[in-house]
Amino acid sequence: MHSDNSFIREVFRWAVAGALIAAIAIGLSFAAYAAPKADFDQWMKELRQEAISKGIRQEILDAALINVKPIPRVVELDRKQPEFTLTFNDYQRRVVPKSRVEKARKKLHENKALLEAAAKKYGVQPRFIVALWGIETDFGRVTGGFKVVDALVTLAYDGRRSAYFRKELFNALKILNEGHIAPKDMMGSWAGAMGQCQFMPSSFLRFAQDSNDDGHKNIWTDKSDVFASAANYLSSSGWKGDQTWGRPVELPEGFDLSLAGLKTRKRLSEWQNLGVRRLGGRDLPTRDLPASLVLGDGKKGPPFLVYNNYRTILKWNRSTYFAVAVGTLADRMVGR
């Protein structure tokens, strides 16, 4: 009987201890859950104060930051971006399929007047504006489903790249403060890229244009502003309107691939003397432009001779895959 009572008391002590541990664990769990909210509230308070000191109006802050809270999906996308596993050729087939080339031709024709106006003002050929528009958002069809301010608040608060996204957040608030778009309509990608040309807020402030003089730089729904803004970005970044981007080429057997890469520039006549030819074995153009040889997959893959405008496209997106896709779509839509 004594041993049974001892056993019961021992079980009781363990049960009490377990309950205490569980209670502490639950308390810590609630504390851990509540702490970020308290921290976030304080963080938001300080953010508002800084925004006001930068000249953002109170009514803009109230409209833009109402019910804002961190978006877990944005953090997930930022931290778990998928590894880029497509080969160069797979990427080109996916991004520049025949269907997109045909759609690009149609859009080029449909928007001829607006595109020619942008081309005349900024010196950027219409086909390149359409190619960027098509690859970035499928000609305005896919522009992102996140509220830009909410996404940028999340990324600025998250901490991984908070300084960068905090600056972009204030840039976004400045855009709202200038009245270009209503807070509820400022939509974009999870990383804050906006509108049909997918400008980050800093790019918007530098390059966005009010092409139709209506008082708004509207890259979300106004194609005249979209085209002018994209063209201004390229023009301001060094675009040369009398040149193309580059071209696919053929290399002779035993070619020295150490010459590949943007660090090496040679005149077309020099590449010609090294045995580089256009597809089909034709001679290179006689206009003796400086050019670099790039390979689709870095150290292998299809070779291209690229000019100044290719480097300008890289300022938009620093990806060989992307830049070649833009050039390829621009050429194919006009039958080159």
Measured from the Cβ of residue 14, the count of other Cβ atoms closer than 10 Å reads 10
Question: Which residues, including other chains, have CB under 8 Å from residue 202's CB and lie 6 or more apart?
Answer: 167, 168, 171
167 pLDDT above the threshold of 80: yes
Mean pLDDT of the chain: 90
Q: With cut-offs at 50, 70 and 90, classify the pLDDT of residue 16.
A: very low
- Asked if 219 and 229 count as a contact pair (C-beta separation under 8 A), the reply is yes
Render the burial of 217-246: b for 16+ CB within 10 Å, e for the rest: bbbbebbbbbbbbbbbbbbebebeeeebbb
At 21 the pLDDT is 40
At 82 the pLDDT is 60
Say which residue, 216 or 27, is predicted with more confidence: 216
125 pLDDT above the threshold of 90: yes
Residue 165 corresponds to which tokens in the numbers above? 């996204």
20 pLDDT above the threshold of 60: no
Question: Closest by alpha carbon to 166, among 73, 318, 44, 79?
Answer: 44
**Beta strand pairing call for 303-306 and 246-250:** antiparallel
Render the burial of 28-56: b for 16+ CB within 10 Å, e for the rest: eeeeeeeeeeeebeeebeebbeebeeeeb
Residue 211 corresponds to which tokens in the numbers above? 């092409």
Question: Which residues, including other chains, have CB under 8 Å from residue 89's CB and lie 6 or more apart?
Answer: 296, 301, 302
**First CA to last CA distance, the chain:** 98
Distance CA 306, CA 303 (A): 10
Tens digits of residue pLDDT in 311-334: 999 999 999 999 999 999 999 999
Residue 26 corresponds to which tokens in the numbers above? 């639950």
Residues in the chain, total: 336
At 86 the pLDDT is 86
Tens digits of residue pLDDT in 273-313: 999 999 999 999 999 999 999 999 877 889 999 999 999 99
At 83 the pLDDT is 62
What mean pLDDT do residues 81-104 have?
89
DSSP state of 82: P
At 29 the pLDDT is 38
At 312 the pLDDT is 98
94 pLDDT above the threshold of 70: yes
Helix ranges restricted to H, the chain: 2-53, 58-64, 72-79, 88-95, 98-110, 112-122, 126-137, 148-158, 162-177, 201-207, 223-236, 268-273, 308-316, 320-332
Task: Provide φ and ψ at 49, rounded to 5°.
Answer: -60, -40
The residue ranges of DSSP E strands in 179-308, in sequence order, are 187-188, 246-250, 266-267, 277-278, 290-295, 303-306
- Tell me, what amino acid is at 32? A
* Residue 290, helix vs strand vs coil: strand
Q: With cut-offs at 50, 70 and 90, classify the pLDDT of residue 1.
A: very low
At 226 the pLDDT is 98
22 pLDDT above the threshold of 80: no
Q: How far is CA 123 from the centre of its chain?
A: 24
